[in-house]
Amino acid sequence: MSEHFRVEGGARLVGTVDVVGAKNSVLKLMAAALLAEGTTTLTNCPEILDVPLMADVLRDLGCAVEVDGATVTITTPAELNHEATSPSVGKLRASVCVLGPLVGRCKRAVVALPGGDAIGQRPLDMHQSGLRQLGASSTIEHGNVVAEADELRGAQIWLDFPSMGATENILMAAVLASGTTVIDNAAREPEISDLCTMLTQMGAKIEGAGTSTLTVHGVDRLEPTEHRVIGDRIVGATWGFAAAITRGDITVRGVDPHHLDLVLEKLRMAGADVSLVEDGFRVVMDERPKAVDFVTLPYPGFATDLQPFAIAMAAVADGTSMITENLFESRFRFIEEMVRMGADARTDGHHAVVRGLERLSAAPVWASDIRAGVGLVLGGLCADGVTDVWDVFHIDRGYPQFVENMQRLGANIQRVAEQA
């Protein structure tokens, strides 16, 4: 039995939505708990499928993990198992983030190559090269990343690209290395800053959080801590786009609006009235959105995770938009589904040209990843008729209470369980 969402177009979304902790933060913070023996508590965690999956990965390593609503408690033993090769590992990308902590704590790690979204190539060369520079060997053997070190020593590391995952793994290995590590061209996403905050609370010595140069002075041991996960800027921005696309009025709470400065500016350029409110922002749109161009780049650029929503907005905007995808080549697969809904969009390499139409036309469509799934629901909200979005388990991996929040804002959307 597979589930799908049935979306009826035409509603204007109005109301307030509360956003909880970020998927792309909590999963890394759970991995960071491996670095300290004892009990680490994370609050404001999102109730999404990926959290229990990551809990299973940590359990296989010897941790006791309790997921109780928005609170995740992880008790890490003195001796960890260093092999993360169970089927759970293959189900989510963030499982690769146990690599750095395992090498830091156990001096060896065997981690199954991770799964996650089908959005294009996701090599681990920078993760491996960073660990090698810290003194570990790293190879791919029988579908696993294998890393081993007698001792981890601080090093100067330049990343070819500010990769989130590579920054996180190198950082989490470096906190327990001897001496000083400098990671240059590090990722600057707010989720990396959140990880630095938690590691610092645990006793790590990190300078430059939120900048592209992270300096880490290794320490002998870390202590467990309690930490509140930062609000999910990608989910927050999703609701901003939902307001712009449905000519609605949505107040988003629980997100730092400064994590979305560029996004909110783009929504203003599209004609929305955007204001900051306590603990969030409000997007009001009274007219058809105007066409706006988007280029995806690492933070503080426009996030690749928001690209499907930019395309959904462009599909109903007044004018022609050019969208450039610089991170994940397969993310434009989403456009094929939008074209089923009548969108006038075509791609050439990593550029897409979208000519806006007044309305889309409802059709059965298939989600290929979390954000593509949500983008299709947004498309369905401005289509004539009823759109069935299939493979919605992707959406459940990253959006807590998605259907319920949509319904509260006035969307005509139902979760339906039946055969495709």
| List of residues contacting ligand EPU (CB under 6 A) | 23-24, 27, 93-94, 117, 119, 121-127, 161, 163-166, 187, 303-305, 327-328, 370-371, 398
Q: Which is nearer to ligand EPU, 83 or 117 (CB)?
A: 117
Shortest reach from residue 378's CB to ligand EPU, in Å: 15
Find out whether the peptide bond into 101 is cis, omega within 30 degrees of 0: no
What the block records as the tokens of 72 is: 């995740």
Of the candidates 65, 30, 72, 64, the one whose C-alpha atom is nearest the C-alpha of residue 47 is: 72
Q: Which is nearer to ligand EPU, 134 or 272 (CB)?
A: 134
Q: Which is nearer to ligand EPU, 112 or 383 (CB)?
A: 112
Place of tokens 């061209």: 185
d(CA 376, CA 358): 17
Return the axis-axis angle of helices 370-381 and 307-315, rounded to nearest 10°: 20
What the block records as the tokens of 280 is: 């969030």
Shortest reach from residue 117's CB to ligand EPU, in Å: 5
Q: Cα angle vertex 377, ends 194, 15, to 5°?
A: 70
Of the candidates 229, 301, 308, the one whose C-alpha atom is nearest the C-alpha of residue 259 is: 301
The answer to whether the beta carbons of residues 299 and 260 sit under 8 Å apart is no
Shortest reach from residue 6's CB to ligand EPU, in Å: 23
Q: Which is nearer to ligand EPU, 94 or 252 (CB)?
A: 94
Exposed/middle/buried for 129, CB within 10 Å: 0-12, 13-18, 19+? middle
The residue annotated as part of the active site, out of 50, 117, 232, 388, is 117
Q: Report CA torsion sign: 392, 373, 398, 121.
A: positive
Q: Which is nearer to ligand EPU, 248 or 398 (CB)?
A: 398
The residue count of the chain comes to 420
d(CA 136, CA 114): 20
Q: Would you call 249 helix, strand, or coil by DSSP?
A: strand
Shortest reach from residue 162's CB to ligand EPU, in Å: 7
User: Helical H runs in 271-369?
Assistant: 307-315, 333-340
Shortest reach from residue 234's CB to ligand EPU, in Å: 6
The answer to whether the beta carbons of residues 385 and 9 sit under 8 Å apart is yes
CB atoms inside a 10 Å sphere around CB 402: 21
Pairing of strands 383-384, 360-361: parallel
Could you give the dihedral angle defined by the CA atoms of residues 294, 295, 297 and 303, in that order, rounded to the nearest 10 degrees? 20
Q: Which is nearer to ligand EPU, 119 or 376 (CB)?
A: 119
- Catalytic residue status for 384: no
Of the candidates 380, 294, 363, the one whose C-alpha atom is nearest the C-alpha of residue 331 is: 294
Q: Which is nearer to ligand EPU, 187 or 196 (CB)?
A: 187
Q: Which is nearer to ligand EPU, 121 or 419 (CB)?
A: 121
Place of tokens 């139902």: 414
- CA distances 305 to 119, 162, 250, 333, 374, Å, are 10, 16, 20, 14, 11
What φ, ψ does residue 130 adopt, rounded to 5°?
-60, -45
Catalytic residue annotation: 117
